[in-house]
């Protein structure tokens, strides 16, 4: 075997070992989370810089393929494979550099490249030795087993601790001044692989649940949580500005139809996306108004005149009712609805994009607090290191979120002075992190009141 072959093969293996190490690192990315620089840069931000180091893996493969391609007397098929490896590596580097959140696409290109590399290695050894490629074949089997352990799903979802995110560094209101440290906290929730069972024995608070038959695909889930993050950001900004006297906040603007029950009285008369403004001529501004009216004023079998907006058109249709499956004394028309909200945000808000912060709404309450902190002279934290979780609703209430035990444990690893949590999750937070100062809250005003009354 000549020097070029040695160099090329070595670079292939360097890249493969690097890829294995990166997979393990990605699955255990939460472990260094308490790390914060003197300038206040958190681990979740450092990950953004480290991510571009992944380019070294395809770069190693591309250089290895180039060395092997430059050998003389290389069969045409191997030449084509090596050219393909170089081309794929260029695409992978491009995806890492310019589309860092295209993880699924990136994995497809990486997997294809790895397959071609092993075809190249095995074919080269067979050609040189004219017998079974024991050296590269053994390496192939070892790496294949590791990849199965690290990538193959086992039919369960795993939830495990994540990392904190200083929301005063994540979002910034124009004209505001970041004063305190206000941390949201992320957890990881994804399809489990074989290695997670081992990680679950080594580290605390790994929770496994069977994947349900109707579970959305990974791409659908990603789109949903990304949309939730955007909605949470918008609502947080509007409510925060209203609290400090800027704008009207989140204003109810009717009731949007999310879905219609098949074969219900509303089926064929109303459509998903319609916005209901009146029932029997009575104004209803939010979902609560509609529920109250249907419960107090409508009997099962009675028609209801529904006035709704559909695009630029306003229409009124008579819709029958039927008994609710949950309560036979309650009339329903067969709709799934939510309050339509107009958000008034008179100042521009900008956000930093973190690769590890995929999405979800659970940072909403603390993001609202961070914006209030920025817009309040001297801030609101009184020098405390504040952490918390919970959604922010249009009325300022703080909603329940998942992964409370994992979040409490993640916060307990930091120097947080207080952890605000929705009341329903307080006992789980205390059980998971007994030494943490857990404060249960129902609404944003509860958080502001606690901070206002805090006396060092």
For residue 451, the model assigns a pLDDT of 96
Give the CATH number of the domain where residue 192 resides: 3.30.230.10
Domain boundary among 327, 343, 359: 343
| Cβ atoms within 10 Å of 215's Cβ, excluding its own | 12
410 CB-contact burial (10 Å; exposed 0-12 / middle 13-18 / buried 19+) = buried
User: φ, ψ for residue 68 (rounded to 5)?
Assistant: -70, -35
Do 425 and 370 lie in one domain? The reply is yes
Q: In 10 A of CB 233, how many CB atoms?
A: 21
Which of 119-133, 296-310, 327-341 has the lowest average pLDDT? Answer: 119-133
pLDDT of 143: 83
Contacts (Cβ under 8 Å, ≥6 apart) of 248: 242, 344
Residues spanned by the domain of 410: 158-247+346-453
Among 286, 319, 343, where does a domain finish?
343
Domain count, the chain: 3
pLDDT tens per residue, range 381-396:
999 999 999 999 888 9
Inter-residue contact 440 to 431 (CB < 8 Å): no
Residues 336 and 356 in one domain: no
Whole-angstrom CA distances from 243 to 35, 210, 396, 441 are: 33, 42, 10, 18
Kindly state whether residues 198 and 76 are assigned to the same domain: no
Q: What is the reported pLDDT for 280?
A: 96
Q: What is the pLDDT of residue 378?
A: 93
Q: What is the pLDDT of residues 312-356, one digit of tens each?
A: 999 999 999 999 887 888 899 998 888 888 899 999 999 999 999
Mean model confidence pLDDT for the chain: 91
Residues 261 and 366 in one domain: no
18 and 96 assigned to the same domain: yes
Whole-number pLDDT of residue 131: 55
Same domain, 39 and 179: no
Residues 365 and 229 both lie in one domain: yes
Tell me, yes or no, whether 188 and 238 share the same domain. Answer: yes
Give the per-residue pLDDT at 314: 95
What predicted TM-score, i.e. pTM, was given to this entire model?
Answer: 0.83
Is the model more confident about 13 or about 133?
A: 13
Burial of 131 (0-12, 13-18, 19+ CB in 10 A): exposed
Closest CA to 194 of 158, 233, 162, 242: 158
Locus of tokens 């030449």: 79
Domain boundary among 131, 151, 171: 151
Kindly state whether residues 238 and 279 are assigned to the same domain: no
CA–CA separation, 260 and 228 (whole Å):
22
pLDDT surpasses 90 at 141: no
Verify that 319 and 368 share a domain, yes or no: no
pLDDT at 120 over 60: yes
Give, for 435, the enclosing helix (H) or strand (E). Answer: none
Residue 102, pLDDT score: 85
364 pLDDT more than 90: yes
For the cut 60, the answer to whether the pLDDT of residue 130 exceeds it is: no
196 shares its domain with 96: no
Average pLDDT over residues 256-263: 88
CATH number reported for the structural domain that contains residue 331 in this entry: 2.30.42.10
Interval 438-448: pLDDT, tens = 999 999 999 99
Q: What is the DSSP letter of 295?
A: H
Residue 75 tokens read as 């069969």
302: confidence class by pLDDT, cuts 50, 70, 90 = very high
- Does residue 443 share a domain with residue 320? no
List pLDDT tens digits, range 24-71.
999 999 999 999 998 899 999 999 999 999 999 999 999 999 999 887
Average pLDDT, integer, range 214-240? 85
Distance CA 204, CA 215 (A): 26
């Amino acid at each position: 075997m000549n020097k070029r072959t040695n160099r090329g093969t070595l670079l292939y293996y360097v890249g493969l070992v690097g890829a294995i190490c990166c997979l393990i690192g990605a699955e255990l990315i939460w472990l260094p989370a308490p790390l914060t620089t003197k300038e206040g840069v958190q681990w979740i931000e450092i990950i953004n810089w480290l991510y571009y180091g992944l380019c070294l893996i395809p770069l190693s493969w591309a250089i290895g393929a180039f060395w092997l391609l430059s050998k003389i007397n290389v069969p045409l098929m191997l030449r084509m494979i090596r050219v393909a490896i170089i081309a794929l590596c260029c695409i992978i580097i491009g995806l890492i550099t310019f589309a860092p959140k295209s993880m699924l696409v990136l994995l497809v290109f990486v997997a294809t490249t790895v397959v071609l590399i092993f075809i190249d290695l095995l074919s080269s050894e067979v050609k040189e030795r004219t017998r079974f490629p024991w050296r590269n074949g053994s390496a192939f089997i070892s790496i294949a087993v590791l990849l199965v352990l690290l990538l193959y799903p086992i039919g369960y979802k795993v939830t495990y601790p994540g990392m904190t995110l200083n929301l005063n560094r994540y979002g910034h209101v124009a004209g505001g001044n970041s004063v305190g440290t206000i941390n949201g906290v992320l957890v990881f929730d994804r399809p489990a692989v074989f290695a997670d069972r081992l990680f679950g024995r080594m580290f605390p608070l790994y929770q496994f649940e069977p994947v349900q038959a109707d579970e959305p695909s990974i791409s659908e889930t990603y789109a949903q949580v990304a949309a939730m993050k955007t909605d949470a950001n918008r609502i947080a900004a509007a409510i925060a500005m209203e609290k400090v006297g800027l704008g009207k906040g989140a204003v109810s603007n009717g009731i949007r139809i999310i879905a219609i029950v098949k074969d219900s009285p509303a089926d064929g008369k109303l459509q998903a996306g319609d916005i209901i403004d009146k029932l029997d001529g009575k104004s209803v501004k939010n979902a609560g108004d509609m529920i109250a009216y249907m419960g107090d004023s409508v009997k099962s079998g009675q028609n209801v005149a529904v006035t709704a907006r559909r695009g630029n058109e306003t229409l009124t249709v008579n819709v029958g009712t039927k008994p609710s499956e949950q309560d036979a004394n309650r009339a329903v028309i067969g709709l799934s609805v939510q309050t339509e909200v107009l958000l008034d945000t008179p100042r521009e808000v900008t956000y930093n994009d973190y690769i590890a912060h995929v999405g979800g709404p659970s940072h909403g309450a603390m993001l609202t607090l961070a914006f209030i902190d920025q817009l309040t002279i001297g801030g609101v934290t009184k020098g405390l290191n504040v952490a918390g979780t919970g959604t922010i609703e249009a009325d300022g209430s703080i909603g329940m979120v998942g992964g409370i035990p994992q979040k409490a444990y993640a916060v307990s690893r930091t120097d947080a002075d207080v952890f605000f949590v929705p009341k329903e999750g307080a006992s789980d937070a205390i059980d998971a992190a007994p030494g943490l100062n857990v404060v249960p809250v129902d609404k944003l005003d509860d958080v502001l009141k606690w901070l206002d009354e805090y006396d060092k």
